[in-house]
Amino acid sequence: MTLKDNHGRLINYLRLAVTDRCNLRCFYCMPEEGIDWLARKEILTFEEMLRLCALLVKMGIDKIRITGGEPFVRTDIMKLLWSISKLPGLNQLTLTTNGVLTAPLVPELKRMGIQSVNLSMDTLDRNRFFAITRRDELPKVLHTLDALLSHGIDVKLNAVVMGEKNAQDILPLVELTKELPVSVRFIEEMPFNGGDVHTDSLHWNYQRIMALITEKFPAIKKIPDGPFSTSYNYQIPGHQGKVGVIAAYSRTFCGTCNRLRVTPQGMLKTCLYDNGVLNIKEIIRSEKADEKLLAALLHAINHRAKNGWEAEQLRKDAMPVHESMATIGG
Ligand code: SAM
Ligand code: SF4
């Protein structure tokens, strides 16, 4: 089955955030003291998540990304991953992780059929890693990178560019692509930091990031972007890996956006910038849930905002965003 939205865009990708909790405190995502963590009963159970995934796969979703918070802090997450990986009709199961707890699980992820993982790493410098994430965990993240590559799993390294906090890391991260077959993707910082306001970050938009990279690597070449790519992709001749820039704040990719997001508390977001357009949890905990959910999901997909600007405008509170990315999943 093919699922399309009211603007004719194919919808085939679900990003499911399985928890809002995290073992890091990245300053662009949440305050140092954390956020008001959701109570256990507020969060979809694994049974509910699996049921939702099964329904969405029947409706036409063929790729699911597990994210969070940090997916691996949720107890028994591997059980959920195994169950989702076996859904008939699902072509690709992937995940986004901060890599702190991931390394020992990599062999099992490989056995499960996971072919690609997004690993967040904003710097290669241990002190700056601590300054950004407020935890001294870079060695474990690097260990996860090694484990993924040695198991033949594709790695996309995500780095949020945050003004003066890590602009000096852009070029060393690009250098990494010389020897390693990784895609390093620089992400514009979005305002989902759980409350804090950082204004200088938006000076580092995708044009400025690319200008810096091109100045140092003038031979860098544009390579084709995939059909639903959110990144502009490049390669430096002779380098094994690739470089990408994600204009997450500038929102240049909405025209081909193929994704749905579900938050840990079961809100459906048809745009990263909307306020949640459907309370899945309420429906899935009611009578005749599958029937009602199918109708409600189709309705939401048929009333999707045209782009992130419209979605932001339509947010019920029409206030600046105070959410944390840990409740959205990235
Ligand atoms: N904890 C996992 C991780 O960090 O990879 C998964 C969840 S995290 C919310 C998903 C992605 O969102 C990460 O790559 C992170 O860097 C990115 N992210 C978080 N807050 C962001 C923000 N304010 N702007 C842009 N990207 C952000
Ligand atoms: Fe945790 Fe990921 Fe948010 Fe960092 S970006 S605080 S690792 S959820």
Q: How far is the CA of 291 from the centre of ligand 1 (A)?
A: 33
Q: Distances from the Cα of 63 to the Cαs of 66, 89, 194, 215, 258, in angstroms?
A: 10, 9, 28, 37, 10
* 234 part of a folded domain: yes
Q: Cα(286) to centroid of ligand 1, in Å?
A: 32
| Parent domain of 250 | 13-327
CATH code: domain of residue 278: 3.20.20.70
* For residue 230, pLDDT beyond 60: yes
Q: Work out the average pLDDT over 115-129.
A: 97
Between 249 and 180, whose confidence is greater? 180
If one counts every other C-beta atom within 10 angstroms of the C-beta of residue 75, the result is 9
> What is the DSSP secondary structure assignment for residue 89, as one 8-state letter?
T
- Dihedral (Cα; 77, 78, 80, 85), 10-degree rounding: 140
Q: Does the pLDDT at position 210 exceed 80?
A: yes
For the chain, give the mean pLDDT. 92
Per DSSP bridges, beta strands 231-235 and 242-246 are: antiparallel
Spatial separation of the C-alpha atoms in residues 66 and 316, rounded to whole Å: 27
Task: Verify whether ligand 2 is closer than 6 Å to residue 326 (CB atom).
Answer: yes
> How far does the centroid of ligand 2 lie from the alpha carbon of residue 135, in Å?
11
Say if CB 325 and CB 198 are below 8 A apart: no
29 lines ligand 2 (CB under 6 A): yes
What's the confidence (pLDDT) of residue 53? 98
Is the pLDDT confidence value at 330 over 50?
Answer: yes
Do 81 and 314 form a contact (C-beta atoms < 8 A)? no
Distances in whole angstroms, Cα of residue 91 to Cα of each of 62, 113, 114, 140, 156 = 5, 10, 10, 30, 19
In this structure, the strands spanning 242-246 and 278-279 are unpaired
DSSP H or E stretch at residue 17: strand 13-17
pLDDT band, very low/low/confident/very high, at 293 (cuts 50, 70, 90): very high
Q: What pLDDT, on a 0 to 100 scale, did the predictor assign at position 249?
A: 83
Q: What is the pLDDT of residues 264-283, one digit of tens each?
A: 999 999 998 898 999 999 99
Is the confidence at residue 147, as pLDDT, over 60?
Answer: yes
- Percentage of the chain beyond pLDDT 90 is 75
Read off the pLDDT band of 250 (50, 70, 90): confident
- 6, part of any domain: no
Residues enclosing ligand 1, CB less than 6 A? 22, 28-29, 67-70, 96-98, 120, 158, 160, 187, 189-190, 192-193, 248, 325-326, 329-330
For residue 326, what pLDDT is reported? 80
Answer whether 70 contacts ligand 2 (Cβ < 6 A).
Answer: yes
Q: What is residue 118's predicted lDDT score, i.e. its pLDDT? A: 98
* Number of domains within the chain: 1
Q: What was the pLDDT predicted at 196?
A: 54
- How many angstroms separate the most distant Cα atoms in the chain? 61
Phi, psi of 267 (to 5 degrees): -90, 135
DSSP of 183-199: EEEEEE--S-BTT----
Q: Is residue 7 part of a domain?
A: no
Domain-embedded: residue 30: yes
Are the beta carbons of 267 and 297 closer than 8 angstroms?
Answer: no
Give 227's DSSP letter. T
List the structure tokens of 239: 């380098």
Q: What pLDDT score was predicted for residue 201?
A: 46
Give the whole-angstrom CA distance, residue 45 versus residue 119.
25
| Residue 318: pLDDT band with limits 50, 70, 90 | low
pTM for this prediction = 0.94
pLDDT of residue 319: 55
Q: What is the pLDDT of residues 160-201, one digit of tens each?
A: 998 777 889 999 999 999 999 999 999 998 888 877 555 544
Is there a domain that residue 224 lies in?
yes
Hunting for tokens 């390294």 — which residue is that?
157
Tell me if 166 is assigned to some domain.
yes
The ligand 2 atom nearest the CA atom of 25: 6
pLDDT at 226: 86
Q: Which is it for strands 116-120 and 154-161: parallel, antiparallel or unpaired? A: parallel
Let me know if residue 276 belongs to a domain.
Answer: yes
* 8 belongs to a structural domain: no
Q: What is the pLDDT of residues 51-105, one digit of tens each?
A: 999 999 999 999 999 999 999 999 999 999 999 999 999 999 999 999 999 999 9
Question: What spacing in Å lies between the alpha carbon of 183 and ligand 2's midpoint?
Answer: 19
Position 213 scores a pLDDT of 97
State yes or no: pLDDT of 321 exceeds 90: no
**Residue 251's pLDDT is what?**
79
- Using pLDDT thresholds of 50, 70 and 90, give the confidence band for residue 317: low
Using a 6 Å cutoff on CB, does residue 194 contact ligand 2? no
> What percent of the chain shows pLDDT beyond 70?
95
- Give the pLDDT confidence score for residue 58 in this predicted structure: 97
